[in-house]
Structure 1
Amino acid sequence: MSEIPSVLFVCVHNAGRSQMAAGWLTHLAGDAVEVRSAGSLPGDEVNPSAVAAMAEVGIDISTATPEVLTTEAVQASDVVITMGCGDACPVFPGKRYLDWELEDPAGQGVEAVRPIRDDIEGRIRGLLAELGGTPAATAPA
């Protein structure tokens, strides 16, 4: 791993889970971790329910845009976390790969997205501890 670890979150549409995960890691790690997110078949916009659920905890992902997954993004990352992209994510030696099984928030309201958001927060806090980082911020209760 480089001096500053880099993490890539990947889900199919890069519109919900991966965007929430990137938002959480950016919020908690600050500049201590380089954060990327992408999708194998990116959507047109970030899921409005994901945006609303994250706003409830003080994290703004409203300006995020779905990005296409590239080989370069994977190569530039130390840790690649997939969230339902299947075999679309290229595998390179020396990278750490994790697969987080998370419910897909697509088409769901904020009430259904909240538990997914909270699950992602717990996983992000665990990842940050593994990377040796200390949360830079904590979300309001």
Structure 2
Amino acid sequence: MESPASKPKTARAVVAAFAAALFAKSFLVDFMIAEGNSMVPSIKSGTVMLVNRAAYGILVPFSSRYLVRWSVPRPGEIVVFPSPDGRLAVKRSEDSGIEGFFLAIGDNEGSSYDSRAYGPVANDRALGRVVGIR
């Protein structure tokens, strides 16, 4: 049983752990679950993805603006970004030929709402890169 003196230490530890987890989720890594079949065969619906939120820079918390930016999506990377319909999208980045933009292309051409429908995506819209799939 905990002594009354150790309760504040435990409370501080819980608050610190929560703050660290919130910091990590806001700035460093996040988990997403794929919905739909636009990235089949690479990513199937229900697949858990690890997203590096710091791949392209540091985002202002709870926004899609960058505080500091150090990279842009490169061809072949799987990128997370808000699609024109407002939902988070996961697509493969391809060169658009236009500076400051990338093409967001689904691996499953027949079942993908992507840059073939809505055009190039601004590099500043990239929120992270998928670095793990399970």
- TM-score range relative to shorter protein: under 0.3
Kindly indicate which of the two structures has a greater share of residues assigned to helix.
1
Which one has a bigger Cα radius of gyration? 2
User: Normalized per residue, which structure has more strand?
Assistant: 2
TM-score, length of structure 1 as denominator length: 0.26
Structure with larger RCO (C-alpha < 8 A, sep 6+): 1
